[in-house]
Amino acid sequence: MLNIVIFGAPGSGKGTQSENLIKKYNLAHISTGDVLRAEMKNGTELGKLAEGYISKGQLVPDEVVIDMLAKVLDEKIKAGASGVIFDGFPRTIPQGEALDKMLEARGEEVSAVVSLDVEEEELIERLLKRGQELGRSDDNYDTIKARLEVYNNQTSPLKEHYKKNEKLHAIHGMGKVEEIFDRIAEAIEKVKK
């Protein structure tokens, strides 16, 4: 299986580029943000719990997200996925370690980590624009600032983890969506078996 982690700060283009990757490589898509938002919309216990964290720009606790991810992953494998794109997971070192173990237990591994590098000013601009267009409750200035801080403190250290095992592909994430996608595809072609 081709297992791609798409990694980056909030607003770096993870969801946007995932859509293109799914089409080109026929991958199953797991976005922990989308799964959590669906739970919130359906008013489930998990959704209610997640809402408290997401509205403040904080991460949902590791054990909750890891359990949720394992279930969704097994559904995708059962449905015959030939590869998976992990969008927004892992976001902490424990989540990264859990993903390695989860995949190993299923005879799989992370094929590549695509890290989208975007300047902070641009991230804020993109998210404020999305907030105006889609009204997502976490796309307001104060929450965006909190999310960026969480990214820098808790998520960014994962880059070292993937650099060590030579999985990390740093991609310049500024410019047109199509140009960025070409850069990503070039990196993926190198790891595709």
- Interface residues with ligand B4P (CB under 6 A)? 10-16, 32-33, 36, 53-54, 59-60, 65, 88-89, 91, 95, 126-127, 130, 138, 147, 177, 180
Residue for token pair 């489930």: 44
Are 54 and 60 spatial neighbours (Cβ–Cβ below 8 Å)? yes
Task: Please count the other Cβ atoms lying within 10 Å of the Cβ belonging to residue 83.
Answer: 18
Instruction: Write down the least CB distance from residue 59 to ligand B4P, Å.
Output: 4
Torsion sign, CA atoms 109, 180, 59, 46: negative
Q: How far is the CB of 165 from ligand B4P (least distance, A)?
A: 20
Residue whose C-alpha is closest to residue 99's, from 158, 11, 170: 158
Q: Which is nearer to ligand B4P, 14 or 167 (CB)?
A: 14
Give the residue numbers annotated as catalytic, written as ranges. Answer: 14, 91, 130, 136, 147
Toward ligand B4P, which CB reaches closer, 3 or 95?
95
Q: How far is the CB of 53 from ligand B4P (least distance, A)?
A: 5
d(CA 158, CA 174): 21
Closer by beta carbon to ligand B4P, 179 or else 193: 179
* Tokens found for residue 129: 């624009």
Closest-by-Cβ residue to ligand B4P is: 33
The values of phi and psi at residue 96, to 5°, are -65, -45
- Least distance from C-beta 191 to ligand B4P, angstroms? 22
In three-state secondary structure terms, 60 is coil
Q: Residue 56 or residue 106: which is nearer to ligand B4P going by CB?
A: 56
